[in-house]
Every structure is written in C-alpha cells, then in structure tokens.
Structure 1
Amino acid sequence: MCGICGSYHYAEDTPASPQVLAAMLDVIEHRGPDDEGYFVHQGVALGMRRLSIIDLETGRQPLFNEDRSLTLVFNGEIYNYQALRQRLQRAGHRFRSAGDGEVIVHLYEEHGEACVDYLRGMFAFAIWDARRQRLFLARDRMGIKPLYYADTGKRLLFGSEIKSILQDPEIERRPDPQAMSEYLSLRYVPAPATLFEQVQALPPGFTATVDAKGMRLRRYWDISYQPNPLLDTEEAALEALEPMFRESVRLRLMSDVPFGAFLSGGVDSSAVVAVMSEFLNEPVKTYAVGYEDDGTERFSELPFAREVSRQYGTDHHEVMLRSEDFVNLSEQVIWHLDQPIADAALVAYHRVCAAAAEDVKMVLTGEGGDELFAGYGRYAGERLAPLFGALPPSIAQLTATASRALPGLRRPKLMLQALTYRDEGQRLRNWFPLFDDRRKPSLLSHDFRALLADQLSGPAFHEHLARTDADGSLHRMLYVDNKVYLPDCLLARGDKLSMASSLEARVPFLDHSLVELAASLPAEFKLKGLTRKHLLKRLCAKWLPDRILHRKKEGFPVPVGVWLRGSARAFARDLLSPDLIARRGLFDTRFVSRLLDEHDRGAEDHTSMIVGLINLELWHRLYIDRAPSVMQQPVQQRAA
C-alpha cells in the first residue's frame, strides 16, 4: 500500500521536473511513511510513498523488469500474486523481490495492457514502457484505490490524491460548477469529474494509455447481471457463496504486519470478523465507535459490536467521540479527502482509523455488502415505483408535497418525493439526495444558476443505466450504486481517511469474483419481499445471532444533528454566516439561514444539508482560498 504520482511530457525535448515530483511526493507522505522512491528520465517522472505491508525488506519501488525497460509504481495489494509469480517464473521471468507488485511488471511483459485481467486485488498503478515510449495507467475493477489525472496540454500528471497533482504550478485551482452542482445533489462528485475543473478521476475498471498522440481510455471490466442458470435455487446459491466469501476473507489476511478489523455490529462487518476468527489462532483486534455526550446514547452501535466481540473473543477497542471532535477535526478531514463528501460520519471514521493505526497497519472492513446484496431501504422503496407511476401526476405530487408537512420521518418523506419522478435516472438520483432536484434551485444563487445554464442534473446515472445489461429495477439500482455511490463516496472515504493515518483498509466483499457471483444471482434472493440482504443473512445465520442479523440498519449513525443544536452550533453559524454565504456568491442567504433556524428549533432534521454546506465551505478555504491553517502544518500533524 502506498501513494503514487508522476508526469509524462508530450514533447520529447521537455524534461520532467524533479522538484515538482518531490513536492507531489511530500504532500502524500501520510500514504507511505516507510519509504520513498522515484524515477526521472527525460520527460517522464514516477514517484511513490510506501506503507510496508508485504515483503518489508525487498519490496521497494519503483520496480523494474529484467532489462529495466519497464518501470512500475504501484498502490494496492494483489492477492493472487503467489500463483501469478509461479506461472511467470515457469515462463522464464526472474524476480528480484518477494512482494506482490513485481508480478505486474512481468504480466505486462507477457500480456501488455491485458495484464489487468489477471489481477485479483485492489490497485492503481503506472508503468513507463521505454521501448514503446508510452505510459500505462490502471485502476482496479471496483475503484477501491483512487487514481486521478490532469492534462495541461503540455504534460499529463497523475496521482493517488488530487492534492499531489495540484503541486504542479500549471494546474489552476478552479472549481468545476457542474461537479459542484452534482455534489449538492448526490453528496459526492461522480467520476470522472472532480471538483477541480482540470482534474479527472480514472473510473473503476479502466486503463489509460498515454503517448505522444495523447491519452486513450479503455474499459477492461464491467459487472454483468446475467443470471447463472446453475444458481437458480437458494441452496445452490449458498453452496457457491460461502466458499467464495471465506476465500475472499482468507486472501485479505496475507500480511507481514499486525492487522485487525472494523466492527460496527452490523451484518457485513460482523460476518467478516466471524470468518477472520475461524482462520486466525489469536484474537482479532476489532475497533468500534461510540459517543460520550449526553443525549447521544441512541446513536451508539457499541452494544451490538460488543455482542459480536464477546461471541468471537476479539481484542476489542472502542473509540469515544465528543462534539469537539467534529468541530476540531472537520477541516483536517476535508484536507485529506481532496474534495468534500456530505457525510456526517467522516470525523468518526477518521478517528477510528487513527485509533486502529496505533496498534495495526491494516484492517478489514465490511464495505460493499449492501451494494452486492441489496441492503439499503431505497431498494425496497423502488418496488413502489410502478404503483406511483400509475397515479395521475397531480395526485402523486400532492402526496409527496403533503408528506413534507409531517414532523420528522425524514427517510419516508424522501422516499415519497423520489417516487414522484417518472424518469428512472432522475428517481434514482433523488432516493438519497443532499438537496433534491426540486429543492436545489431554491438553494442556488441567481448567478450560480446562470452559470449552470439551468443544467442542474448531471448525466452519470442515465449513462450507467443505458449501459447495464441488468433486467429489473433492483439490479439496475445495484449496478448504478456499484458504479457511482460505492466508489465515489464510500470507497473514497475509506481510502483517504484510512491512509490519512497510514492505515491500509481491505474490503473482502469487493473481491471481483465475489461481485460477479453476487450479480449472477436472482434479484429475489437479495430482496425477498421487503427483507433486504435475504441470502446474505441466511449465510450469516451460522455465524451471527438473530439480534445482529435482524437489527435495524443504521449505516454509520453519528449524533452530529444533536451537536449542531448544541456545542457545534457556533461552528456551523460561523462557517455559514449570511455575510460569508453572500461573499461566496453560490447560495441564497435566506435559504441557508432558514435551514439553520429550522434545525435549531427541531422543526426539521437538516443535518445532512448543513454538514454538506460546511464541508463545501471548508474545501473552498483549504483548496481555493488556500487557507494556511492545515496546509502549513507538518505532514505528521495533518495526518494525526
């Protein structure tokens, strides 16, 4: 695990800058405090920061093939590297290290761009092919590891984090208005866009080839939801699913350093811990989050995590948060993310990563279970879409409008409002919005709306819906979530905030073989009636008690809404003051003030919207205004 960066100059007579590469590496030191490596030759520069997990002694980068015509920098883990290594050695390749990264170089020698088809793991890498005079970039199938790039016309820059690319003086820190509009709708920015106009994300499952002719993208993998006729009964599906899940967990236990797991007490993380416990001869180190402030007990998942910990005898650690953590750490979190995510759990995730990093260098997490096996309430809610579609539009709209007058009940209100959209893509965008498509125009200032030319919705959802081979609304929703919400929100959060503490996070549910298996199963195995994750719960019944299997899904509950009415109220009011909102020129000051007032009174729960606006303001200060508070701290303090 590490961070990578580099540049390629299109003109042959333009040398790469070692100074720019050094700055790119310095700003991502938190991703790899154990080692640094670089390669600079003519117009090419490659760099890496290393966090040593496997082959601690000889796994240094860059890595080369036998005649040094290929140079690799690599971020991630290849879980089938031992089998690949044996196959390549039989073909005559000679290895200089015992680590996983070197297999990529030799696979590229054998198979060229198709080398990615053989890799099982999480990865982002760059190969300089001196013979062909081209740069080859690749990102893993699910987007677990990030990779960004910017093309200035003179050179192409790339990096694991956007802040690395921003070290080049030719990159302008100019916000992308359409990407910002998408953030305000979706809570995150969908790839390939970023909040920076010049910077793009390489999408999951893509490679890029860069040479003097320019940059060419290629999709090398996609999720197919075509059914497997051999798995058309639940018993057959379970017989295939259990060994695949066990194997996925087992592969992610390969490590030469101490490791643990995050444990929320939900089905997904608990299942991972259960299987880890079967493979290990010592207690699993587990980490969970709780809250200490008065009135926040109902948000705690600690009782569920403790129950699983007791059952499996884990070495359990609890991280207790207070409101001052939210106030004091939000800025640091946004700096590490590069671009905001409207997620109230960011600080909690950051803190539990920091706590785990005091004991271990790697953790397993439960991300991906919901997107594979239909764990979110919106999947069940979408089943009502045909019913709402049969209603006269005026009646459907009246129902949604009337629901807004109900106190509380935020999720049911969002569901009713989403169901009024007849267009599938627009409906999916509005199942879990920050500001839904009807409310967002009232938020935006006149000038911002004019800048967008009234294009308030981006194309990402419709493009993915047009591409998938899935039949039926559930699998179409799962495809979109696996392509957008999972990589651009959850996995982005997981990578950036774990690496902020120099901690590697592995995700067993997102082994691509397991993803392909889950996608081939009938939709009714995942959502049976209104029971979500039906098949996964059947599998986990042998490991987990009913209280864990059938508890209400909470996501990552955090009492930020309570804090915003109390000790964090001044923090929010300062960042979202009418004067500051007016100076930014993005939002209607009265609309934002009304959000804060309604939340203060308890008339509405506007936690997500307020957090989303706070995080966007912090991003502006750090990355556009270039406020000194975080950026001038030593790297070790930023990553603390």
Structure 2
Amino acid sequence: MFAFCIWNQKTNQLFVARDRMGIKPLYFSLTNQAFSFASNTQALVAVGADTSINSVALQQQLSLHGVVPAPNTILNGVNKIKPATTLTIDAKGKVVEKTYWQPSAQRSELSDDEHIERTHELLTKAVLKRMNAADVPIGVLLSGGLDSSLLVGLLHEAGHQDIRTFSIGFEDIDDEAGSEFEYSDQIVKKFNTKHEKYVVSNSQVLPRLGEAVANMAEPMVGQDAVAFYLLSEQVSKQIKVVLSGQGADEAFAGYFWYPRMQSESGTEVERFAKHYVDRPYEEYLQTVNQQHHSGNHTEAWLNKEFAKANADEFMDKVFRTDITRLVVDDPVKRVDNMTMAWGLEARVPFMDYQLVEHALSISPSLKMSEEGKHPLKQISRGLLPDSVIDRKKGYFPMPALKYVRGEFLDFMADILNSTQCINRGVYNQDFVQKVIDQPEQYMTALNGSRLWHLALLEYWLQINIDE
C-alpha cells in the first residue's frame, strides 16, 4: 500500500501515484496558483481549498452509503486520486492521468478445488507478508466473524504462537446484539491468544462521536467507524500495527445482497441499485434543495463501471466494482482513518492485489455457495470452530446508530434543525422533518438509517468546514 509524490527537477514535473487497491488515501487541490496534496481533506481546506458542495458527490454520498467514487469528494475544491492511478503535473498545471492496473473478472482454467487451494496459498502469503514487513509486534482486530478469525488461524497455522487480539462491543438494542464476543471468545480460547476485550456503553458514544468525525477525511456513515476509533485508541497503547479483515466480503461474496442482485430482473444497474442504493433518485430529489438537482450521477457512474471490459457476467461486474472502487471509500477508508487517528497502522491482507486478481477469476457460483465466501469457509474447515464458520454473517455492530432513539435521536434532530444546517441550504427541511419524526420508516436497502446518513454529513461539515 502506498501513496506518494516525486518531484522531477529536470523536467519540472510532479509525479503522483496511489496503490492498486487505494488502501492509502491521496487528496489534491488544483488551482491556477498551485497543486496541493495531502492525506486528508482537512489539510487542503486549511490552505484555502473551495469548500462549496459538489452536487455530483452529494447525490452519490446519499446513495452509496457515504461512498463518493474518486476523483470527486463532497467539496468542489478537493479531489482524490483514483486507485491504481498516477498523475503527472507540469509547471503549467497540465495534468496527465494514467491507470496502471485494471483486473479482469474472467474465468481461469483452474478447477474448483484448485481455486480453493490457490486461495489458501495466496491468503497465507498475504498475511505473512504483512506480518514480516514490520519490526514491531502486530495484533489482529478480532470481530468474531469468519474473516478476522481466519487471519488468526492462518497466523497460528504458519507457526506464530504469541498472537495478540483485540475486540470491542456495545450495548444491545432489542434483538440487535451489540457485540460478537460469543464468537471471538471461541477463537481466543482455541488459539490461546493474548486478548483484550473492550465494552463501550451507549452513554460513552455520543461524547466521543465528534472526535471520530473530526478524524474522517470524508463523511463516513458506517456504524462501525466510532467502534474502530474507540478500539484503536486502546490498541494503540499496546501495539502500533494490526491486521484487519476488510475486503473479504467484497472479494469472496460475503454480503446478503449479492444473491438478491443475482436473482433480480431488469437492467444491470437496476438489479444492483434495488439491493444497494440507499434511496431512490426520486426520494433524493425530495431530500435536497433544487440547486443540487443535477442528475442521477450514481446511475451514470454504475453504467460506466459495468461497461468496462473483461468481465464474464453481471455478478463479476458487481464484485469487481465493489472490490476495486466501492470498498476503497467505505470500510477500507473508514478503518485507515480511525486507526491512523491514534498512530495505529491497519494492514488488510484480503486486499492483497494478487489475492484480489485470483478472487475475481473464481466463478460467482463457487464464491456464493454456502451462503457466500465458500472458498474461505473451505480453508477454515478443521482450522476454526464450525460455529464460527457456519454462523450467520454479522456486521461490526453499533445498534444505537441503526435504530435511532432517545438521546441519539435528539442529537441528530438538533444537528439537522441547527441554524448552520438551515443556512447551508443543502437539505429540504420539510422532508428532513418527516425522517426525524419516523426514523425507523426510513431505512436503507442495507438496513442503515437514512436519518443518520443525513445527520452525519451535516455534522462532518460543521466540524471540519465550519469550525
């Protein structure tokens, strides 16, 4: 993973590059006076970047659960370099962009068993590569799910005995569990890891939420952002590098919406959007004021992604778009921002580009069998407890930001009814009030809170732009 800039004194050119998977961020601002770059938007805002709202990004922000695909960001004056891309900028400000890696999503000649064996080899190699490229102790962020558990298992399989693991949990709300300790504890016991477990009450979340948002390079609505922030605070007191499981679901078909997309009818974008996009475009038009009614940019972007060559079938296009474009600006950026806020480096073996290339060559039917992630489950048999392998897919839980009630509802209502929000003029306040009045009637296709999405964007702007 990398993001770097090199000045060529002989040619008076700046060369800028970002790693294949976009694990490390690189933002820039180009004006008539200068090309400025940084690892977050806040630094560019501090040197005078235009902070007006980008209407293209706004529509995507509220449609792709906080994802704004590169090169846009929510701010007109800040862009980000696409993954697997280089920029060459000359002294006159001319920019030449080149993409140096674009994986195909086509079948190889390997059998199913060979695909699984190759997955095992590449994942083990990816884990060990990230363990060995450090001169400090490394731990694992252990959620209790298959992905992080498998990282622990592979480390043990490779001969690592002194494995450190870290887990966090929150309060339950109704039937929504706030932790996955039931499963992480099994991994700790099986591999005798040196484990730290942190429990956070809902009363502790709101006072710390502003800190997490201040460390977001862009507004991120994932409920687990604050969880990673609070977990990283504690972990950073003990070690400086961790392994995390981001990318496994996208590479190996772990999400519940993939089978729904596959069985859906309609155009490719319609099949995708029905089970992924947060709000219909018609609702978006009701949500924001007219100056931001500039077109369905999410649909246009998806059409462009799905039209790229070298994908055998619809689900191959979905997986390639997810692992090369969407994951970058959702879980990967979230974990990078929240860990680096505490000087903790998160490494993501499932995002190893050779493993991703291999995963994209596996047929969707093989990846999606056993309710998803079949290759990873086969690797795990005999290594992990069956109860962890066969459990229902979980999500790093933060129930209070999903089922918005009580003080969390009051908090979000205050943000959206604030003078700053009204004066910003982005939202249609009449529609926003409907969402505030019935938040659980406005859930996304992925079971997220649309109220939280609206509040988080405004809160991010208040903290990072207004203050």
TM-score by length of 2: 0.93
The answer for the alignment partner of 2:118 in structure 1 is 240
Which amino acid in 1 is paired with 2:284? K
Which amino acid in 2 is paired with 1:431? H
2:259 aligned with 1:259: no
The answer for the alignment partner of 1:558 in structure 2 is 398
Q: Residues 455 and 372 (structure 1 numbering): CA distance in 2 closer, same or farther, change over 3 Å?
A: closer
User: How is 1:360-509 mapped onto 2 (pairs within 5 angstroms)?
Assistant: 360-385=239-264, 389=265, 422-444=266-288, 448-455=289-296, 457=298, 459-509=300-350
State the distance in 1 between where 2:99 and 2:413 align: 45
The answer for the alignment partner of 1:618 in structure 2 is 459
2:439 aligned with 1:595: no
Deviations 1:15-61 (A, max 9, x none): xxxxxxxxxxxxxxxxxxxxxxxxxxxxxxxxxxxxxxxxxxxxxxx
Q: Residues 184 and 302 (structure 1 numbering): CA distance in 2 closer, same or farther, change over 3 Å?
A: same
Q: Residues 327 and 423 (structure 1 numbering): CA distance in 2 closer, same or farther, change over 3 Å?
A: same
The answer for the alignment partner of 1:178 in structure 2 is 56
Q: CA deviation at 1:330?
A: 2.1
Q: CA deviation at 1:559?
A: 1.2
Identity of aligned residues (%): 30
Contact 1:367/1:509 (<8 A) preserved: yes
Which amino acid in 2 is paired with 1:309? V
Q: Residues 585 and 289 (structure 1 numbering): CA distance in 2 closer, same or farther, change over 3 Å?
A: same
Q: CA deviation at 1:603?
A: 5.7
2:192 aligned with 1:313: yes
State the distance in 1 between where 2:34 and 2:189 align: 55
Contact 1:509/1:515 (<8 A) preserved: yes
From 285, 309, 321, the equivalent of 2:164 is 285
The answer for the alignment partner of 2:217 in structure 1 is 338
Contact 2:177/2:397 (<8 A) preserved: no
State the distance in 2 between where 1:531 and 1:295 align: 26
Which amino acid in 1 is paired with 2:95? M
State the distance in 2 between where 1:453 and 1:425 align: 19
The answer for the alignment partner of 1:538 in structure 2 is 378
Contact 2:229/2:339 (<8 A) preserved: yes
The answer for the alignment partner of 2:107 in structure 1 is 227
State the distance in 1 between where 2:457 and 2:108 align: 44
Which amino acid in 2 is paired with 1:349? F
Deviations 1:398-420 (A, max 9, x none): xxxxxxxxxxxxxxxxxxxxxxx
Contact 2:139/2:164 (<8 A) preserved: yes
Q: CA deviation at 1:561?
A: 4.5
Which amino acid in 1 is paired with 2:455? I
Contact 1:181/1:457 (<8 A) preserved: yes
Contact 2:143/2:167 (<8 A) preserved: yes
**SS of corresponding position for 1:288:** strand
From 98, 109, 112, the equivalent of 1:218 is 98
State the distance in 2 between where 1:260 and 1:361 align: 9
**SS of corresponding position for 1:309:** helix
Which amino acid in 1 is paired with 2:88? T
Q: CA deviation at 1:430?
A: 4.1
State the distance in 2 between where 1:358 and 1:458 align: 44
Contact 1:173/1:623 (<8 A) preserved: no
State the distance in 1 between where 2:290 and 2:11 align: 47
Unaligned runs of 5+ in 1: 1-121, 390-421, 628-640
Contact 1:138/1:207 (<8 A) preserved: yes
The answer for the alignment partner of 2:155 in structure 1 is 276
2:407 aligned with 1:527: no
State the distance in 1 between where 2:410 and 2:88 align: 49
Q: CA deviation at 1:281?
A: 4.3
Q: CA deviation at 1:582?
A: 3.6
The answer for the alignment partner of 1:99 in structure 2 is none
Q: Residues 281 and 541 (structure 1 numbering): CA distance in 2 closer, same or farther, change over 3 Å?
A: closer
Contact 1:344/1:608 (<8 A) preserved: no
Deviations 1:81-126 (A, max 9, x none): xxxxxxxxxxxxxxxxxxxxxxxxxxxxxxxxxxxxxxxxx11111
Q: Residues 561 and 240 (structure 1 numbering): CA distance in 2 closer, same or farther, change over 3 Å?
A: closer
Q: Residues 562 and 215 (structure 1 numbering): CA distance in 2 closer, same or farther, change over 3 Å?
A: closer
State the distance in 1 between where 2:417 and 2:8 align: 53
Deviations 1:271-317 (A, max 9, x none): 11111223354431111111246757723211111111111111111
Rg larger for: 1
Which amino acid in 1 is paired with 2:57? A
State the distance in 2 between where 1:467 and 1:580 align: 41
Q: Residues 431 and 296 (structure 1 numbering): CA distance in 2 closer, same or farther, change over 3 Å?
A: closer
State the distance in 1 between where 2:417 and 2:44 align: 32
Contact 1:434/1:608 (<8 A) preserved: no
Q: Residues 583 and 164 (structure 1 numbering): CA distance in 2 closer, same or farther, change over 3 Å?
A: closer
Which amino acid in 2 is paired with 1:216? V
Q: Residues 290 and 453 (structure 1 numbering): CA distance in 2 closer, same or farther, change over 3 Å?
A: closer
Q: CA deviation at 1:480?
A: 1.1
User: How is 1:107-256 mapped onto 2 (pairs within 5 angstroms)?
Assistant: 122-169=1-48, 171-188=49-66, 189-213=68-92, 214-229=94-109, 231=110, 233-254=111-132, 255-256=134-135
2:448 aligned with 1:568: no
Contact 2:222/2:331 (<8 A) preserved: no
State the distance in 2 between where 1:513 and 1:605 align: 36
Unaligned runs of 5+ in 2: none
